[in-house]
Amino acid sequence: MTDTACVIYGARDLRFEPRQSAPMGDLSVKVRVRAGGICGSDLHYYFDGRNGDYVIREPLIPGHEFAGEVEAVGARVSRLRVGDRVAVNPSSPCGRCRYCRQGRENLCRRMVFLGSASKFPHIQGGFREVFMVDEANAVPVRRDLPFTTAAFAEPLSVALHAVSRAGALFGRNVLITGAGPIGQLVLLCARRAGAARIVMTDIVDQPLETARRIGADAAINVATHPGDLKDYAASLDGFETIFECAGNHHALRSAFESAGPGAVVVQVGILPAGDIPVLANIAMGRELDWRSSFRFCDEFGAAVDALDRGLIDVAPLLTAAIPATDAASAFDLARDRARSLKVQITF
């Protein structure tokens, strides 16, 4: 049996073409994919042919943020039934290694992560009409939850993990550099976690406007108003917790410069390949904790629950849901930060 998939062959070479569907196993769930979010990593694969250090070496089906409807279940599947709606957890750690046993599954060396060129052969992703997934990775949502909302479970997991890496946020002054979808989701999570003040920075006005709308106390364009962040940081004697969600060294620099003594800086954005300049003496003199946050661990269930119960409202972050036949224009729109936040592909 075949279905149709979005396949990246190399930089700016995306084809919508038939692919062999995976066979059905006893524990398989056949998901009719309905919505899949385009992530920064998908954009890098499509526009650059690589994502940081991961280079496309064979055709890659992108997509690791997707949701759909159960169309069939294997003989031994017990939790799901035909017609259920599910968010697919793209992360399959081995479950046995030291990191998995320590509850740090995101660090598993044998991790299988959908839609990624980190391994060869690549792990094919979910931008296709039909996706066969293990029952354990298909997390049910309410039957009336929009697929476009359920498809936020993965990026929301990333944001929840970043927040858990930061430690307690209640009463703290928080800076988020980078107002992309992950920065915005971190804002929503930090607000729920009780942050006192939350300031968002970016170099594009439109996503900053969204940040204000969803609860940022201030949103600063550091390109057009370079002094404002410095003034704001000075008024607080430095931020206590900073999420670097932009993934570039200018933002990292402003994160360190804006950090108060003893601050925690969480690196969430993926920095470009190669050496990155770091203000090491600021980190030293202020005893900064520079922590990284990579994907997520067991936050996926909590993310689904938060979406299911409406605890986190992701609707303001969804710019458009575009049919897969028009995937290339969806990628174009997703890259245009003045016009879009999260763009999803629908099937």
Contacts to Zn ion by CB under 5 A: 39, 93-94, 97, 100, 108
Shortest distance (Å) from residue 325 CB to Zn ion: 23
Shortest distance (Å) from residue 64 CB to Zn ion: 6
Q: Which two tokens stand for residue 337?
A: 């930060």
Shortest distance (Å) from residue 1 CB to Zn ion: 28
Quick one: 181 or 238, whose CB is closer to Zn ion? 181
The angle subtended at Cα 227 by Cα 221 and Cα 231, nearest 5°, is 105
Cα dist from 22 to 50, 87, 150, 227, whole Å: 25, 19, 23, 55
Q: Which two tokens stand for residue 341?
A: 């936040």
Shortest distance (Å) from residue 35 CB to Zn ion: 14
Shortest distance (Å) from residue 335 CB to Zn ion: 15
Alpha helices (H) along the chain: 40-48, 98-101, 147-150, 153-166, 181-192, 205-213, 226-235, 249-258, 280-285, 299-308, 327-335
Quick one: 108 or 304, whose CB is closer to Zn ion? 108
Quick one: 55 or 97, whose CB is closer to Zn ion? 97
For residue 242, give the nearest of 234, 251, 250 by alpha carbon: 251
Shortest distance (Å) from residue 258 CB to Zn ion: 26
Quick one: 77 or 246, whose CB is closer to Zn ion? 246
Q: Largest Cα–Cα distance of the chain, in whole Å?
A: 63
144: Cβ–Cβ under 8 A, 6 or more apart, which residues?
none
What b-and-e string marks burial along 224-255, b requiring 16 or more CB atoms within 10 Å of the CB? eeeebbeebbeeeebbbbbbbbbbbbebbbbb
Quick one: 97 or 112, whose CB is closer to Zn ion? 97
Quick one: 182 or 251, whose CB is closer to Zn ion? 182
Place of tokens 């969806």: 330
Quick one: 108 or 334, whose CB is closer to Zn ion? 108
For residue 47, give the nearest of 14, 12, 13 by alpha carbon: 12
Q: Are the CB atoms for 288 and 2 separated by under 8 Å?
A: no
Shortest distance (Å) from residue 268 CB to Zn ion: 11
